[in-house]
Amino acid sequence: MSNQEIFRTQPIDPVRSGWRSSLALLACLGVAFLVSACTAMGGGLPSSFGNSMAAIELPATVEPYPDDEVLRAAKAHFAEGNYGHAARYYERAVEVEPTDGEAWLGLAASYDRVRRFDLADRAYWSAARYVGNRPEYFNNVGYSYLLRGDIQKARSNFLKALELDPDNLTLLNNLELLRDSARKAGMT
């Protein structure tokens, strides 16, 4: 067999080759479009929270810091958007000082950002013992529920925070995010 017999040099005519070939071609193009759209938008398969990965892996280890600096390192990593590393440093911070409500809130928020809501719930439960009556606590819990798509629980927590601190700009911005989410979900 020559190369010309193996490889077609003429384009495939869908009318002459039949409808099955056309359907197969359309199916292949559709799959290619979906794969390219998913990878272009978030680097992975779509999740229920948009086109991003469902969870970000937590690092196995992080650089050691002295006990009196670990909370500062955790805050710095969180501020830089390194939420997995921040979670690991906050874990160490609550080991060093288990009654530090700020460390527990930071740990919960870091878990929220890596979509480990099971761990975030535990950290919020611990944070409640030390800072459960502060607006930051209710705001963070509300934001956690907003990330999960639970608009009713988010609203309830944001309103509790609003009662405690009606002029807090972060809280007011989060309430606006909640309104936008509700609008998009058709709840208004």
Q: Given this model, what pLDDT does residue 12 score?
A: 43
Helix (H, G, I), strand (E, B) or coil at 139: helix
d(CA 107, CA 88): 8
Q: Given this model, what pLDDT does residue 68 score?
A: 80
Residues 30 and 78 in one domain: no
What are the pLDDT digits (tens) for 62-81? 666 567 889 999 999 999 99
Residue 47 pairs in a beta bridge with: 50
Residues 102 and 147 in one domain: yes
State which amino acid sits at residue 24: A
103 lies in a domain? yes
Residues 45 and 112 in one domain: no
41 lies in a domain? yes
Residues 44 and 129 in one domain: no
35 lies in a domain? yes
1 lies in a domain? no
Residues 117 and 46 in one domain: no
Domain that holds residue 169: 70-180
pTM: 0.66
Distance set, CA 184 to CA 50, 145, 177 (Å) = 13, 16, 11
CATH number, domain of 158, equals: 1.25.40.10
d(CA 43, CA 11): 34
Residues 75 and 38 in one domain: no
- Please report, to the nearest 10 degrees, the dihedral formed by the alpha carbons of residues 154, 82, 172, 46 taken in order: -50
77 lies in a domain? yes
- Total of domains in the chain: 2
- Can you read off the two tokens belonging to residue 75? 């805050």
Q: Given this model, what pLDDT does residue 165 score?
A: 96
Q: How many helices (H) and strands (E) does the chain have?
A: 10, 0
d(CA 148, CA 48): 9
Exposed/middle/buried for residue 35 (C-beta within 10 Å: 0-12, 13-18, 19+): exposed
d(CA 63, CA 88): 10
Q: Given this model, what pLDDT does residue 57 score?
A: 67
106 lies in a domain? yes
152 lies in a domain? yes
Q: Given this model, what pLDDT does residue 118 score?
A: 97
Q: Which residues of the chain have pLDDT under 70?
A: 1-66, 187-188
Q: Given this model, what pLDDT does residue 181 score?
A: 82
Helix (H, G, I), strand (E, B) or coil at 47: strand
d(CA 29, CA 39): 16
Q: Given this model, what pLDDT does residue 36 score?
A: 35
Helix (H, G, I), strand (E, B) or coil at 50: strand
